[in-house]
Amino acid sequence: MSGTLFGVIADDFTGATDIAGLLSRAGVKVSLRIGVPSEQPSQTSPFEVIALKSRTAPVAEAVAETRAALRWLQSAGATRFFWKYCSTFDSTAEGNIGPVAEALMADLNTDQTVYCPAFPENGRSVFMGNLFVGQQLLSESPMKDHPLTPMRDSNLMRLLAPQVTKPVGLTDRLTVAQGVKAVQSSLASHRQEGIAHVIVDAVANADLAIIAEACRDMPLMTGGSALAMPLPAIYLADGLLAADAPKRHDRKVGPQTIVLSGSCSAMTNAQVDAYRETGAPNFQLDPFELAQTGPDPVLTWLADQDLARAPMIYATAKPESVKAAQQKLGVTQAGELIESTLAACAVAALDQGAARIIVAGGETSGAVTKALQVTQLDIATEIAPGVPWSFCTSEGRDIALALKSGNFGAASFFSDAQTKLDTL
Ligand SMILES: Nc1ncnc2c1ncn2[C@@H]1O[C@H](COP(=O)(O)OP(=O)(O)O)[C@@H](O)[C@H]1O
Ligand SMILES: O=C(O)[C@@H](O)C(=O)COP(=O)(O)O
């Protein structure tokens, strides 16, 4: 039986839990698959999200994986699709966002799509095609120093144009402010001019509601999670979904916790500092030492920890230290060394009885989740906008996973996450 209406393909794991969490807010059932499932769809949910780790992958690999995800979602019955990338439009110099969008458009036989990474609750807005993080332009925000995808331009048209073969245009905030029909007629006139890729401005949730309504029947939309958030309510009102769809699953799990942080964002740096101040046991990974010793020292330290005290292992560092490690070890090598070490810590913590695993960082979350061999997550209560708890089962035990996007959450996030489960 196949009841899927809407299929999402996310380019990283935190992005996948982000969009799954926002879709769940409307009370609809959302399933999150880790990677393209090897088995044929059965018992699928109205909203299916497939998490890929393709943001920094070579273009051809990202395109091939995304097309495989599309085929799976189509065989689950989905007729509308969403390509979810980062609300800060993170791309490598080559860039996967455009090539993936064009491949999806070709497979879906559609000649136009929209791009809107705005996420107002987390301070991301798009105005006149420029992306802002809070009051700063993207290129002046801490995203300019991201270890893997430094963002040095804020103009989405300039960022997207070299990644695609067809023309790029803009439907600006002045048009969005005029409502659904104005957006639709702007898209129609862009289409007449052959503009396939339309950046759409949005500075508030009300703008996103207008854009979602205007684009509700497009085969493909692309953007950050917030653009998809109004869709469940729209489809419920249309009668396309059963109103009594099951709600999200919160479960009780034990207090044994491990916090693993591989994000180097300004927000994660603040979160790591705040958590250290709570007195929680912590271990800092030094990439230079790690390159010499491998993971043994941290695994030995972890083996002695009482997980009920929720210890933290982190590689999180300020931009100068990250650059120094990258110059010495290489960007990819430094990243992989840390990701594989944190993944090994997650596996060891699970063996030690961890029931709650909190991970900071998109690439890091991908490495950890793959190492835990998780294939599906059920979305549960939201800790902060865009960061839900999720649950999976490992060897008959319920495990709670929180995959935190580098930039999301308050300074107290690691404590907030635990409190949220304690008070379920
Ligand atoms: N101290 C460090 N030096 C160099 N690279 C690091 C360091 N700490 C973490 N990294 C790497 O930086 C990358 C951070 O990316 P990610 O986990 O996606 O975080 P975010 O969500 O903030 O983008 C990962 O590949 C991680 O292994
Ligand atoms: O849209 C967002 O900002 C997030 O969902 C996201 O994609 C996060 O990526 P990371 O910052 O690499 O965790």
- pLDDT tens per residue across span 144-157: 988 889 999 999 99
322 CB less than 6 Å from ligand 1? yes
**Candidate from 86, 261, 382 with most ligand 2 atoms within 8 A of CB, to mutate:** 86
Whether the predicted pLDDT of 269 surpasses 50: yes
The answer to whether the pTM exceeds 0.80 is yes
Whether the predicted pLDDT of 248 surpasses 70: no
7 within 8 A of 79, measured Cβ to Cβ: no
418 within 8 A of 389, measured Cβ to Cβ: no
pLDDT at position 247: 59
Q: Assess if CATH 3.40.50.10840 describes domain 6-238.
A: yes
d(Cα 406, Cα 119) in Å, to the nearest integer? 14
Instruction: Decide the pairing of beta strands 113-116 and 197-200.
Output: parallel
Beta bridge partners of 132: 125, 137
pLDDT at position 244: 62
386 CB less than 6 Å from ligand 1? no
Is ipTM beyond 0.90?
yes
**Average pLDDT for residues 364-378, to the nearest whole number?**
93
339 CB less than 6 Å from ligand 2? no
**Candidate from 87, 143, 149 with most ligand 2 atoms within 8 A of CB, to mutate:** 87
pLDDT at position 2: 45
121 CA distance to ligand 1 middle (Å):
24
Supply angle C-alpha 367, 369, 375, rounded to 5: 130
**Candidate from 264, 286, 320, 327 with most ligand 1 atoms within 8 A of CB, to mutate:** 264
Taking only the tens place, the pLDDT of each residue in 230-243 is 999 999 888 888 76
What residue type is 262 in one-letter code? Answer: G
405 CB less than 6 Å from ligand 2? yes
CATH fold label, 257-422: Molybdenum Cofactor Biosythetic Enzyme; Chain A (3.40.980)
Query: What is the per-residue DSSP string for 136-194?
Result: EEGGGSGGGG-SS------BHHHHHGGG-SS-EEEE-HHHHTT-HHHHHHHHHHHHHTT
d(Cα 388, Cα 381) in Å, to the nearest integer? 6
**Average pLDDT for residues 154-182, to the nearest whole number?**
97
pLDDT tier for residue 3 given thresholds of 50, 70 and 90: confident
The protein residue whose alpha carbon is closest to atom 8 in ligand 2 is 405
407 CB less than 6 Å from ligand 2? yes
Task: Provide the sign of the torsion angle of the four alpha carbons 132, 89, 413, 312, taken in this order.
Answer: negative
Cβ neighbours of 424 (radius 10 Å): 12
> Crossing angle for the helix pair 331-351 and 319-329, nearest 10 degrees?
110
pLDDT at position 262: 97
In the predicted model, what is the mean pLDDT of the chain? 95
pLDDT at position 65: 98
Taking only the tens place, the pLDDT of each residue in 64-80 is 999 999 999 999 999 99
pLDDT at position 242: 76
258 CA distance to ligand 1 middle (Å):
18
pLDDT at position 1: 37
Higher pLDDT, 270 or 251: 270
Supply angle C-alpha 390, 393, 399, rounded to 5: 55
Residue appearing with tokens 């960022």: 159
d(Cα 95, Cα 346) in Å, to the nearest integer? 30
**How many percent of the chain have pLDDT more than 70?**
98
Query: What is the per-residue DSSP string for 43-87?
Result: S--SEEEEE---TTS-HHHHHHHHHHHHHHHHHTT--EEEEE--T
**Candidate from 11, 321, 363, 405 with most ligand 1 atoms within 8 A of CB, to mutate:** 363
85 CA distance to ligand 1 middle (Å):
18
Whether the predicted pLDDT of 398 surpasses 50: yes
Of the listed ligands, the closest to the CA of 342 is 1
Question: In the chain, where are the structural domains located?
Answer: 6-238, 257-422
109 CA distance to ligand 2 middle (Å):
28
DSSP state of 40: P
d(Cα 341, Cα 424) in Å, to the nearest integer? 31
The protein residue whose alpha carbon is closest to atom 2 in ligand 1 is 322
CA distances from 255 to 185, 349, 418 (A): 54, 13, 8
The dihedrals phi and psi of 253, each to the nearest 5 degrees, come to -130, 165
Whether the predicted pLDDT of 89 surpasses 50: yes
Two domains, one topology: 6-238 and 257-422: no
